[in-house]
């Protein structure tokens, strides 16, 4: 079985630099300019979202942006940082390596959720950048200020991020 590929620190550095400089709230035009700056190919531009091919050395090499509400402001951007796979051990190793790479470039994380395999760094511009290990892939998850503020508030109040909303177990 071939080794699981993940984005190298050198490929990740310009992405981290670009997102650190991006003002939040960020509008559609600013995100499209960032995509062009990074050499990403926009493959679908809808009112509430943008899909891109990043050219990163992973399969699939894609990312997407969520533009909630009227579609003018960016709420969240997600990029694949690994190949998509069923190999859990490979994803765990890639997650560890990617967290180390981002820590080397951004400093110590501001939030670590080991149970969710999610490590986050708050950005000076108000956003939040996270490396997260999902079921079949490791992603870079960039939250705009509004979404990041919600995540920070829930963390401060010790609200379980994995709760099921609108159930008896969800505190209202």
DSSP for 93-148? HHHHHHHHHHHHHH-S-SEEEGGGTEEEEE-TTS-EEEEEE-SS-EEEEEE-HHHH
Q: How far apart are CA 153 and CA 53, in angstroms?
A: 33
Q: How far apart are CA 80 and CA 127, in angstroms?
A: 19
What average pLDDT does range 134-155 have in this prediction?
Answer: 93
| pLDDT reading at 166 higher than 90 | no
Closest of 95, 77, 73 to residue 85, by C-alpha: 95
Q: How many CA atoms lie within 13 A of 152 on its CB side?
A: 16
pLDDT value at position 86?
92
pLDDT value at position 158?
73
What average pLDDT does range 121-131 have in this prediction?
Answer: 96
Q: How far apart are CA 58 and CA 156, in angstroms?
A: 35
Q: How confident is the model at residue 28 (pLDDT cuts 50, 70, 90)?
A: very high
Q: What is the pLDDT of residues 59-73, one digit of tens each?
A: 999 999 999 999 999
- Please tell me the pTM assigned to this model: 0.90
Average pLDDT in the chain: 92
pLDDT value at position 165?
66
Q: What is the pLDDT of residues 106-120, one digit of tens each?
A: 999 999 999 899 999
Q: How far apart are CA 128 and CA 144, in angstroms?
A: 7
pLDDT value at position 171?
57
Q: What is the pLDDT of residues 9-21, one digit of tens each?
A: 999 999 999 999 9
Total residue length of the chain: 172
pLDDT value at position 156?
79
């Amino acid at each position: 079985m071939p080794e699981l590929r993940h984005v190298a620190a050198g490929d990740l550095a310009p992405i981290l630099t670009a997102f650190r400089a991006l003002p939040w709230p960020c509008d559609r035009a600013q995100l499209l300019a960032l995509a062009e700056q990074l050499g990403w190919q926009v493959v679908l531009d809808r009112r509430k979202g943008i899909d891109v091919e990043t050219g990163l050395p992973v399969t699939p090499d894609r990312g997407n942006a969520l533009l909630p509400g009227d579609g003018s402001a960016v709420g969240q951007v997600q990029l694949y940082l690994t190949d998509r796979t069923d190999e859990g051990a490979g994803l765990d190793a890639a997650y560890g390596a990617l967290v180390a790479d981002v820590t080397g470039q951004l400093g110590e994380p501001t939030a670590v959720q080991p149970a969710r395999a999610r490590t986050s760094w708050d950005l000076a511009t108000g956003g939040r950048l996270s490396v997260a290990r999902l079921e079949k892939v490791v992603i870079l998850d960039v939250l705009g200020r509004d979404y990041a503020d919600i995540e920070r508030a829930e963390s401060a109040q010790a609200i379980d991020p994995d709760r099921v909303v609108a159930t008896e177990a969800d505190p209202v």
